Amino acid sequence: MADYEFGIKLEGFSDGLAPLAHIDSRTFLGSKGQASSMRADIISNPGFIQQSPALANLTNGTQAGVVSELIRFILDKPTASDTTYAIGTTKLFKLSSTAVTSGGTPSWPQTVTDMTEGESVIRLKANLYGFYNKASGGDILKMPLATEVIDPDWGSSNDAALEDALHPVAAKEDIMVFGNGRYVGVYVEGSATLDVQKLDFGEGAEVVDIVFNANLWYIAVNYGEGRRGQIYLYDGSAVSSILSDEAGLGSQKIGFLFVFNGIVYVAYQDNSSGAFAIGWMSGRQLKPLRYFAGSLPDHRQKTLYKNTILFISDEDIFSCGAPVEQLPIQVSTLADAGYATVGGLAAPFGTPMVASTDGSTNYRLAKFSGLSVDSNWKSVSLDISDGRKLGKVTLVIVTTKPLGASARCDLVLEGNQGEDDDSSSFSITGTGKTRHVFKSIDLKPAQDVRVVLDSTNGHASNACLIRKIELLGNFVDR
């Protein structure tokens, strides 16, 4: 008899969540490196499992400072060195990479008259424009970046009020194109022409996102309460009233569009299964890339981080993409987004920042900083049975990067899909150690086993980077 009759090797952790993880959190289907459930960082150093990034509030970034409402949208690029803006429910905020501006002339944050729901902000040439809803309808504010004096009803003064709806916006050169309920509005600064109803997609339509790519505006429209999605192309000059092309997505509800490196990604909900997915436009076809669980993010909740798209789903920040082209596309739960209700997500200075509220009195605007101990990684369920025989794991070997002081991650084995008692917890720790061997595995013989890594006892700055996990065991008659 061999010392061990079966062996399992888990590695290549850059694959992210398993294909069916959004359906079954204990799925058996997956690769060696895929997880059935996770909240961990597998994109910072692909191939390794690392603790999630932690969140640190920006200076003045809570209700104790000046963030006393949910920041709903963060401009995803700086307007000047270390300067950008965000919009909440009633106020316009000014941000740096470390702080939310308080006071000054004019005094920040600035209250926007009659605003009840900020939707988006964008910089067009020397001005900042903000789109927002009011108790009834909506409007566009204009703020010269030089003076920072807000004209709250610039939109209605120059054309007409907006619908009370989502207001995604995109800009290029001196043109900005924005969603306005069933309409698309256009502003051409060169000719100072604003038309808030340039295109009309009809009753029951809602423009949910707009991006610019390949000299065309991509306009995502949902119809019939999101039962049908459509993507339209519109000429880059935005002077025509006729669209350039269109692709019907069928029974898909679109959340957002995202352009990266010439590819248009689409976050959507598959109405037939209820699953959420990230796909990409291949010709007139939407090709799904990876599925995820939770909720459908909108135009305010997307950004780029380490060559992957970050987006919000429920209370978490997800990542989708490949850190390098030679690796597969992955989707993974990267980090906790803060409080339960999440607002805007962006990375205007490179490091992602996210706004959230507990729905009561607590608000925050925080950015990635250090390592979170609220992090875990769970393998797919691993079948260790052989006919009538059950598997008994007797040895676990974990390979890591050399660990720093107090770096730690705890390993537990779950048997029979969590129905049996878990094994004891084994600590992966030890300064300078790279190989961690655990022999006294007390998990009872089982049909299947799942490896759970937990960072509750981890360190805030010294990471425990796990490269490989091996399980060895024998079959036992039962």
Partner 1 sequence: MAKIKDLSPKLKTKLKTAEQEFAMEYQAGQLPFGQNLGGTQMYSARFIRGYGDKVFGSSDLGIWLGAADWGDAPFRVNMDGDVVASSADFSGAGYTKLTIFKQDSIPTSVAVGDLWFDTDDNNRMYRSASVGADEITAGEWEEVAIPSVTVFAQDEIPTSLAEGDLWFDTDDENKEYRAASVGADEITAGEWELVSTTGISVFAQDAIPTSTAIGDLWVDTNDGNALYRAASVGADEITAGEWEAVTPEGGITVFAQDSIPTSTAIGDLWYDTNDSNKPYRAASIGADQITAGEWEIVDDQRAADALLKSGSSQTLTGDFNLNDEKVTIDGANNRIMIADDSNDRCLFGKQTGGFP
Binding site for partner 1 (CB under 8 A): 1-2, 4-10, 15, 19, 28-32, 34, 214-216, 233, 235-237, 239-245, 247, 263, 280-284, 289, 321-322, 324-329, 379-380, 382-384, 386, 391, 472
Runs of H (alpha helix) within 160-231? none
Cβ atoms of 105 and 359 within 8 Å: the answer is no
User: Least distance from C-beta 94 to partner 1, angstroms?
Assistant: 35
Query: Smallest gap, in angstroms, from Cβ of residue 244 to partner 1?
Result: 5
How buried is 342 (Cβ within 10 angstroms: 0-12 exposed, 13-18 middle, 19+ buried)?
buried
Measured from the CB atom, the residue of 82 and 174 that comes closer to partner 1 is 174
Smallest distance, Å, CB 390 to partner 1?
Answer: 12
Backbone torsions φ then ψ of 13, nearest 5 degrees: -80, 10
| Best CA proximity match to 105, nearest among 147, 48, 56, 166 | 147
Q: Which has the closest alpha carbon to 451: 103, 23, 30?
A: 30
Q: In the complex, what is the shortest distance from the CB of residue 235 to partner 1, in angstroms, rounded to a whole number?
A: 7
Least separation in angstroms between residue 335's CB and partner 1 is: 22
- Pick between residue 298 and residue 448 the one whose CB is nearest to partner 1: 448
Q: What are the φ/ψ torsions at residue 395 (nearest 5 degrees)? A: -145, 135
Q: Residue 69 or 195: which CB sits closer to partner 1?
A: 195
In the complex with partner 1, the residue whose CB is nearer, 153 or 235, is: 235
Rounded to a whole number of angstroms, the minimum distance from the CB of residue 230 to partner 1 is 13
Q: Is 284 helix (H, G, I), strand (E, B) or coil?
A: coil
Q: Which is nearer to partner 1, 351 or 394 (CB)?
A: 394
Q: How far is the CB of 101 from partner 1 (least distance, A)?
A: 39
* Distance between first and last Cα of the chain: 18
CB 3: neighbour CB atoms within 10 A?
A: 8
Q: Given the complex with partner 1, which of 30 and 109 has the nearer CB atom?
A: 30
State the Cα angle at 372 between 366 and 373, rounded to 5°.
Answer: 140
Residue number, 99 or 216, with CB nearest to partner 1 = 216
Torsional sign, CA 242, 248, 250, 255: negative
Q: Using the minimum distance from each CB to partner 1, give the nearer residue, 32 or 444.
A: 32
The answer to whether 100 and 365 have CB atoms below 8 angstroms apart is yes
Type of residue at 264: V
For the CB of residue 170, give the shortest distance to partner 1 in the complex, in Å.
15
Q: What is the CA radius of gyration of the chain?
A: 25
Of 376, 384, 382, 317, the closest CA to residue 344 belongs to: 317
